[in-house]
């Protein structure tokens, strides 16, 4: 199996994450949420493992790298929102169905079991949980899957440099709308219980 320039110690840690659920658990329990102002860092999986901190894109890259070491293609997908931050997921498939791993400051935007027949089904499972602090449901669009092997020339798995070309690619690529005909203008606000549940464990970001 390729080692992708990881050290033996790094490989032992990553190869111990033998299932997608274990990757998610590691992100949840061993990796803190990155509270640095947006745009300050875009760590490689090596740096996430060393620094023990990640925001959503850093977490997705880490998960994709861990999955790759167990034979999965390193796939990520970008969720695009209005009046809110975008969110990036690492994708995997099992028995022909899609699942996802996510690092998020909101409880409902993390793991999905591989039970979704299409990517649209998977993305829609995040819709009710994707909201801002004004209790608006904000998810609007999603990208196609991106195989991070296209960035192997950057050494994205072990780079000491920030990986802004990956961010730029995700931002600029086409995104498919979740709905049409103005449906997004007629949405109810998130109810109080779901809002409170979504904020469980939320870490306050540092200001710019």
What is the per-residue pLDDT across 113-167, written as a single tens digit (0 to 9) for each? 999 999 999 999 999 999 999 999 999 999 999 999 999 999 999 999 999 999 9
Number of structural domains, the chain?
A: 1
From CA 143, how far away is CA 97, in angstroms rounded? 18
Do the domain assignments include residue 189?
Answer: yes
Do the domain assignments include residue 205?
Answer: no
Parent domain of 161: 8-198
Do the domain assignments include residue 204?
Answer: no
Do the domain assignments include residue 158?
Answer: yes
Q: What share of the chain is helix, strand, coil (3-state, %, to 5)?
A: 35, 20, 45
Do the domain assignments include residue 208?
Answer: no
pLDDT at 208: 34
Do the domain assignments include residue 115?
Answer: yes
What is the per-residue pLDDT across 80-124, written as a single tens digit (0 to 9) for each? 999 999 999 999 999 999 999 999 999 999 999 999 999 999 999
Q: In the predicted model, is pLDDT for residue 1 greater than 60?
A: no
Do the domain assignments include residue 207?
Answer: no
Does the predicted TM-score (pTM) go above 0.75? yes
Do the domain assignments include residue 2?
Answer: no
Q: What φ, ψ does residue 81 adopt, rounded to 5°?
A: -120, 165
Task: Show the beta-strand stretches assigned E in the chain.
Answer: 32-33, 53-54, 75-81, 87-94, 97-101, 112-116, 139-143, 146-147, 175-177
In angstroms, what is the C-alpha Rg of the chain? 17
From CA 169, how far away is CA 103, in angstroms rounded? 20
The mean pLDDT value of the chain amounts to: 94
């Amino acid at each position: 199996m390729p080692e992708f320039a990881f050290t033996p110690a790094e490989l032992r840690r990553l190869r111990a994450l033998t299932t997608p659920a274990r990757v998610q658990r590691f992100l949840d329990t061993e990796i803190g949420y990155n509270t640095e102002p947006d745009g300050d860092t875009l760590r490689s999986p090596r740096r996430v493992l060393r620094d023990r901190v990640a925001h959503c894109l850093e977490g997705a890259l880490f998960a994709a790298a861990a999955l790759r070491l167990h034979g999965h293609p390193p796939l990520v997908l970008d969720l695009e929102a209005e009046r809110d931050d975008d969110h990036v997921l690492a994708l995997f498939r099992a028995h022909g169905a899609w699942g996802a791993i996510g690092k998020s400051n909101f409880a409902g935007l993390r793991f999905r079991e591989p039970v979704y027949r299409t990517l649209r089904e998977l993305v829609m499972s995040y819709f009710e949980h994707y909201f801002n602090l004004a209790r608006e449901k904000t998810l609007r669009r999603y990208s196609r899957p991106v195989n991070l092997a296209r960035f192997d020339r950057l050494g994205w798995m072990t780079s000491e440099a920030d990986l802004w070309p990956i961010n730029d690619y995700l931002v600029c690529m086409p995104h498919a709308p979740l709905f049409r005909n103005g449906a997004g203008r007629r949405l109810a606000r998130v109810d109080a219980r779901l809002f409170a549940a979504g904020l469980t464990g939320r870490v306050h970001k540092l200001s710019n």
